[in-house]
Amino acid sequence: MKPYLCDPWATARTDPDRAAVIADSEETTYGDLTRRADALAQGLRARGFPDGATVSTDIPTGPAFFALALAALRHGFGLFPIDRDLLDLPAGSALLASVATVAHITAEPWTDGPVLPCPVLTDTELVDTAAGRPAPSTPAGRLIFATSGTTGLPQAVARARPRRPYRGVAVVERYGAGAGRGPFLMANPTYHLGTLGPALYALQAGSTVVVQRSWSAAGFAELADRHRADSAMLSPDRLTDVVEAGVAPRRRLHVVFHGGAACPPAVKLAAIDLFGPVLHEYYGTSNGVVTEITTPEWMARPGSVGRPLPGIRIDITRNGRPVPAGETGDIGIRLRAADQDQGDGVLNTGDVGHVDDTGHLFVLGRAASPRELRTARLEHDIRLLPGVTDAAVLDGTDDAPVCFVEHTGTSTFRDPVPAIEATADLLELPCPRVVLAASGSLPRTPSGKLRRADLTALARSAPDGRT
């Protein structure tokens, strides 16, 4: 193995008693974590599940979950983490069937769970089955994620399975992870790629992962100081909570990741003042991370989500034709060969935006028509207004847009309605209806995005005018 590559089994060999995952009262070491991962893989194979088979799980993020994730990655299985709330809906079974799930792995006996299209096993049953059986040796496995479902029901996104055996991760200094670093604080313990990805990277690199299962801004700062964390991930809504509370760890973190949703520049600037120049933003899809940007780079280009990672190309097109730098169009991604299942690897993100002359990407929002493009621009401009912490603009073909605006509610907050109406007029949109709400009060997905599907119903019940 190349010296810059690291994996949990390597950490277990050199430092088996090093803490691997801490979640409330649960804690495991690297030695115990990797042994359980091997046993889980042996149990899956003993049950007759073939190489490459996909299993799902609703085990809460913590030691048991990460053992199952590592079992899948190292021993050639697919793992589809799915929230229990989603499994309780009819769509849950359809999602499992869409990726040919062969078994669902849970923490407790499935006595009151919904009927699923596959057998249900506990992780303990798998470990008990594994006794005395050899560990499977196969190509690497993969993780499967559900989209956030902001505009409707989530969809399962099956990423390409790596062609080579599992080798761990290349440890990168700017990510603040590794055996010589302090823990990574997982403040969004959800199954979204944007929230789980940084934690899984840190674990593979040799860091301890601390899971904050009960959210509060003060609790985040306390956990970071108690464990002397070096890195953390905060979705924009939780970053806003920290900014509004005005609390940060006394010990400066090496890096604070954020992503998964648009972050208003005013919130990010306040977070930089609070944490220092350590914010690291990323943009991507359920297929993987596409761009990254550091604090110094963002300060030079406020609003950008960065340049694409090596091997990834961004295409901005309108009506299928490339547009020049600076012009808005549809954002398409050409994936790395390793992430492609078939074809040329072009992924239509559904987002619109532009790149500047240095290749930095700016994302406006989602749009599929000229009017939707103007609506996305209105939503983007609302986020730039003072005191606004998030926004979502819903639009019908004939009706006026409905603008949901979360704000700080402080004494310096100015009524944004006149500015919103003026911007809508410039964009040749009907005069919008504006619904004002306190920060964090609108419905969100577990990964922190505003849930537009729920906002649609709320728009019908919200009174006309300012709320």
Going by C-beta distance under 8 Å and a sequence separation of 6 or more, which residues neighbour residue 295? 272, 277, 278, 279, 280
Strands 329-334 and 313-318: antiparallel
Q: Is the pLDDT of residue 342 over 60?
A: no
Q: What is the mean pLDDT of residues 420-433?
A: 91
| pLDDT score of 400 | 86
Q: What is the mean pLDDT of residues 124-134?
A: 82
Question: Could you say which DSSP state residue 422 is in?
Answer: H
Encode pLDDT of 77-98 as tens digits. 999 999 998 898 888 899 999 9
What is the distance between the alpha carbons of residues 113 and 232, in angstroms, rounded to a whole number?
33
DSSP string, 47-84: TTPPTT-EEEE-PPTTHHHHHHHHHHHHHT-EEEE--H
Domain extent listing, the chain: 5-304, 380-461
Residues 429 and 403: beta-carbon distance below 8 Å: no
Domain 380-461 has CATH 3.30.300.30: yes
Three-state DSSP at 288 gives: strand
DSSP string, 137-196: --S--EEEEE---SSSS--EEEPPPPSS----EE--GGGT-STTS--EEESS-SSSHHHH
Residues 135 and 143: beta-carbon distance below 8 Å: no
CATH topology of domain 5-304: Rossmann fold (3.40.50)
What is the distance between the alpha carbons of residues 427 and 45, in angstroms, rounded to a whole number?
59
Encode pLDDT of 171-199 as tens digits. 999 999 999 999 999 999 988 888 899 99
Q: Is the pLDDT of residue 40 over 70?
A: yes
Q: Is the pLDDT of residue 299 over 90?
A: yes
Q: What is the mean pLDDT of residues 382-403?
A: 84
Residues 286 and 146: beta-carbon distance below 8 Å: yes
Q: What is the mean pLDDT of residues 389-405?
A: 84
Query: Which residue reads 């050199």 in tokens?
Result: 14
Q: Is the pLDDT of residue 223 over 90?
A: yes
What is the distance between the alpha carbons of residues 3 and 119, in angstroms, rounded to a whole number?
41
Q: What is the mean pLDDT of residues 153-160?
A: 80
Q: Is the pLDDT of residue 203 over 70?
A: yes
Residues 242 and 220: beta-carbon distance below 8 Å: yes
